[in-house]
Amino acid sequence: MARVLRMPGVAADATEAVLSEWLVEESGEFATADALATVETEKAAVDIEADAAGRVLKTLVPPGAQVEVGAPIAVLGEPGEHVDDLDALLASLGVEEPTDVVVPERRDVPTDPESAAPVIEEVQTPAAPAAPAPARGSSEAVNGRVFASPLARRIAKEQGLAIEQITGTGPRGRVLRRDVEAAVESRSDHPPEAGHPSPAPTPRPAASAAYEEIAHSRIRLATARRLTESQQQAPHFYLRRTVRAEALLELRAELNQDQDIHLSVTDLIVKAVAAAHRRVPEMNVTWTSDAVRRYRTVDVAVAVATDRGLLTPVLRDVGSLPVTSVAASLRDLADRARAGRLKQDDLEGGSISVTNLGMYGVEEFAAVINPPHAAILAVGAVRAEPVVEGDAVVPGRVLSVTLSVDHRPVDGVVAARWLGILTDLLEHPARILA
């Protein structure tokens, strides 16, 4: 029996979303829990999963279309079902093919349907000769360019594949992640013969322009809007402390001797943040127009840099997790963030964020609060400095932390008390594990 698939509400308070990509085409069969399509929110790519096996009888909106939540996007049938008169079926379901579908303009730089990131192509020199017609089995080229998502290009590069030799199944022949994965699988099934290595990528012409314009990704636009609103609406104040890091580094080294999962300083800091929140529950809050909302569990967001912009996936109930589980969960969130596979739920919740630029040698910085959180902790690099112990100056290892706080739900005394407890936990890190 035919049924209508509608655009789901994939994000809180969202009234519309972009149908990024159909993963099952018209007349295609699918099983229960198969992904039918990918929908873009401002910060994540969300797969629409089938609640039962069936067949796609008709897609009603094209890839890239902006669709209102609840609007019909496809008609599904039972496995093997065929319909002779689709128009009559649509009429019986009370569904009309939309005539006012909005497909956002691509502004010369095609938007990646997998990750909403711009596909950057080199500027062709005026004298560049026309590219020959693409060979059978290769992706469609336009004016010498091959359209491919950044994720597809990265995977192809890592696997040593020439993107020009991969057949694209996306809009306008664009190479998507699934195309590269299929090419990798095909190569595994049919390895190249000895003496016949895979062809090297064709060199591209040098760029002639003095600059290039990179269209804003949805993530970068969303980040810009949210952080601008944060600075305008949340009265920030900042507290800084210098932490003696010798004991923290020693504990990390000791734990890493016997663990399969490699612990980072960030893993231990996230665990310490949760412990500090348990001791100062007045910090585990967010501001709403009606009340201060205090949470019963500690959910901590961690900033992850991706090719498409900054993401802050949230780790749930950190206080109940052993530090090895914290490490494993943070690796998983970071990997999925960089691959564009986070779900909307991964990006919602929490009362505090942690951002660490220490691996880039940054000694100290202040971060903008990520709404609706009440605070963000900025962590600098561990560095060698002389420190005072009693009446003597001795060599030491220190790191700087800066806490940015929203003054609406949190007063300065509460934040200072919290930062003092965090410092004590980091300087006596065995307490983090308790």
**Secondary element (H or E) of residue 58:** strand 54-59
100's CB contacts (< 8 A; 6+ apart) are none
Handedness of CA 99, 103, 104, 107 (dihedral sign): negative
Furthest C-alpha separation in the chain:
91
231's CB contacts (< 8 A; 6+ apart) are 368
Q: Are 152 and 115 in contact (CB under 8 A)?
A: no
> How far, CA to CA in Å, does 342 sit from each of 111, 362, 414?
18, 28, 33
Q: Are 427 and 247 in contact (CB under 8 A)?
A: yes
**Angle of CA points 186, 191, 192, to nearest 5°:** 120
Q: Are 360 and 368 in contact (CB under 8 A)?
A: no
Say if residue 295 is exposed, middle or buried (CB neighbours under 10 Å; 0-12, 13-18, 19+): middle
Distance CA 122, CA 131 (A): 14
Nearest to 333 by CA among 319, 349, 347: 347
| Tokens 């020959």 -> residue | 132
DSSP states of 330-364 as a string?
A: HHHHHHHHHTT---GGGGS--SEEEEE-GGGT---
CB atoms within 10 A of CB 182: 14
Please list the active-site residues. Answer: 407
> How far, CA to CA in Å, does 26 sit from each of 30, 39, 57, 62, 371?
11, 17, 6, 11, 40
Q: Are 313 and 333 in contact (CB under 8 A)?
A: yes
In three-state secondary structure terms, 365 is coil
Handedness of CA 368, 40, 183, 121 (dihedral sign): negative
Nearest to 9 by CA among 347, 344, 336, 312: 344
